[in-house]
Amino acid sequence: MKSILCFETTEESEKHEALIKRQMERLGKYEEVLRSSYRLEEMPKAVIWTSTELATTVFSTIPIPAYTNEEFIYLSPELEQWRDLMLLQLDGKELPEIQAYYEKFGEDHLFEILAHELTHHSALFVDEFDDDREDSIWFEEGMCFYLPRRFLGEEYFNEVTKVEDDLVKAHQVKYGGHSLDDFGSGTYEGSIPSIMFDYWRSFLKVKDIVEFHHGDVQQVFRLYHEWHETGRNQSLSAYFDDICTTV
């Protein structure tokens, strides 16, 4: 996959060139995993690396500088900008352990985001990029976090799981008054923590489902396809809740 540097100055491109090269080398290894196990069949044409400002004001108005469509992945490599963005998730609360975690935002965290965007291109997800994708977006988003985090290792996985579990608990009263199945309606409206709340919940939900099935991600995907192929007769969260409460 091509890597395109799109910055306003040569200096910006040169500043990030080495980091971007490292990220793309790691992505090649993750791509092999997706191809061998998770039906990555059609790749985006390129990763477009750009500044946070251009990602959120020129290429898109999405307030988070990482997104994908059928043809391209757009991503900012600016670690300091990402740190500032991640700290907004605290929503003004005193959460020192979480603050310390995000203040260390580095190349592993950036790679997770890059790998997340590539995972969206897996053919195992039943919805297309131009679909409304409103009744099961939590499953795709949660799985797109789960697989890269597992790829990054047990320590990384456990640490980020604790952080996001704590964030959900901290923000539940303020942002948790709706079903996870509503995720996708006004996804990018509101504050950063209100936007991210359903992403955290989605990952934790997928994690719980996979653990219920003894780590068998393929079985979880088979059940997801069964839900889709039999007509989506109930919400996807209710469908999995029924399965995961069956003794």
Categorize the per-residue pLDDT at 183 as very low, low, confident or very high, splitting at 50, 70 and 90.
confident
Which contiguous run of DSSP H or E holds residue 245?
A: none
Specify the pLDDT at position 187. 56
For residue 62, with 0-12 CB atoms within 10 Å meaning exposed, 13-18 middle and 19 or more buried, which class applies? middle
Task: Give the whole-angstrom CA distance, residue 204 versus residue 10.
Answer: 41
- Number of domains making up the chain: 1
Does residue 18 have a pLDDT over 80?
Answer: yes
Structural domain harbouring 86: 2-244
Here the tokens at position 154 are 């047990």
Determine whether 156 is exposed, middle or buried from the number of CB atoms within 10 Å of its CB (0-12, 13-18, 19+): middle
Higher-confidence position of 47 and 245: 47
Q: Which residues contact 100 (CB under 8 A, 6 or more apart)?
A: none
Please name every residue paired with 4 in a beta bridge, in sequence order, or none if there are none. Answer: 48
With tokens 């540097």, the residue in question is 5
Q: Which residue has the higher pLDDT, 219 or 130?
A: 219
CA 62, CA 83: separation in Å to the nearest integer?
Answer: 17
Is 134 a residue whose pLDDT tops 80? Answer: no
Say what the pTM is.
Answer: 0.95
Q: What is the pLDDT of residue 245?
A: 83
Q: Please spell the DSSP secondary structure of 41-85, one letter per residue.
A: -S--SEEEEE-HHHHHHTS---SSSEEE-SSEEEE---HHHHHHH
Whether pLDDT at 54 is above 60:
yes
Dihedrals φ, ψ of 46, to 5°?
-165, 160
How large is the average pLDDT for residues 54-73? 95
- Indicate whether 122 pLDDT > 80: yes
